[in-house]
């Protein structure tokens, strides 16, 4: 048993709080791959990628879609399905902050690979919305995630554009209000689809 295999399995939202796992989810949205194929694409060791794929599969974020014979062994190919994040629990405040931290670091990493001179879009806001507007914003973000994941292509597809998208929406404690006891967001505002892909 390798050192990586001695760690206990992850649970829920905490599975997203690792940069390589986020990269694997993105990669395996466009095409199913084995750990060897994903390792080559990401420039990582197969052992490390295999460990993280097992972790993601264990929490339901990757589906095993194909198993084939390769040089006397078996190659398992996994795929990230767009709706798999909806199966994750909202998680604790610590879990949510861990995911936010990894997403922020991943956004910085991706920005180093931004195509020079290329136009892009971004929005950033900390504001107050009417409940109906908040519901509409969440629905639009969910639709954005769904479209991007349904349209994702395999890496290296001729004529395709490699893009980055990071969306994390959540309600905040009101100014001057005390933070209530920790617990899940009553309206399910954590958009795992947008966070994981």
HSE, side-chain direction, 13 A CA sphere, residue 128: 3
Render pLDDT for 57-111 as a digit per residue (tens, 0 to 9).
988 899 999 998 877 888 899 999 877 777 777 777 888 888 899 999 999 999 9
The mean pLDDT of the chain is: 83
The mean pLDDT of 28-40, rounded to a whole number, is 94
- What is the percent of the chain with per-residue pLDDT over 90, rounded to a whole number? 53
Contact 155, 41 (CB under 8 A): yes
**CA separation for the pair 44, 23 (Å, rounded):** 11
Which contiguous run of DSSP H or E holds residue 140? Answer: helix 131-151
Render pLDDT for 138-174 as a digit per residue (tens, 0 to 9).
999 989 988 998 999 999 999 999 999 998 888 998 8
Spell out the residues 6+ positions from residue 193 whose beta carbon is closer than 8 angstroms to its own: 82, 83, 85, 86, 142, 145, 146, 149
Spell out the residues 6+ positions from residue 109 whose beta carbon is closer than 8 angstroms to its own: 19
- Top-confidence residue, 193 or 48: 48
pLDDT, residue 180, reads 61
The mean pLDDT of 123-144, rounded to a whole number, is 94
The mean pLDDT of 173-193, rounded to a whole number, is 55
pLDDT, residue 144, reads 92
């Amino acid at each position: 048993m390798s050192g990586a295999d001695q760690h206990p399995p992850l649970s829920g939202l905490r599975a997203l709080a690792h940069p390589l796992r986020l990269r694997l989810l993105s990669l395996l949205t466009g095409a199913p791959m084995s750990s060897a194929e994903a390792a080559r694409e990401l420039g990582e060791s197969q052992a490390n990628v295999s460990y993280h794929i097992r972790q993601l599969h264990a929490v339901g974020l990757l589906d095993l879609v194909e198993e084939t014979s390769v040089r006397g062994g078996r190659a398992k190919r996994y795929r990230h399905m767009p709706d798999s994040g909806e199966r994750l629990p909202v998680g604790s405040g610590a879990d949510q902050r861990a995911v936010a931290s990894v997403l922020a670091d991943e956004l910085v990493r991706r920005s180093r690979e931004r195509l020079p001179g290329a136009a892009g879009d971004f929005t950033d806001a900390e504001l107050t919305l009417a409940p109906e507007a908040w519901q509409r914003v969440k629905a639009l973000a969910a639709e954005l995630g769904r479209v991007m994941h349904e349209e994702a292509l395999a890496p290296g597809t001729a004529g395709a554009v490699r893009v980055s998208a990071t969306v994390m929406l959540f309600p905040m404690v009101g100014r001057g209000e005390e933070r209530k006891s920790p617990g899940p967001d009553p309206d399910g505002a954590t958009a795992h689809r947008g966070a994981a892909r």
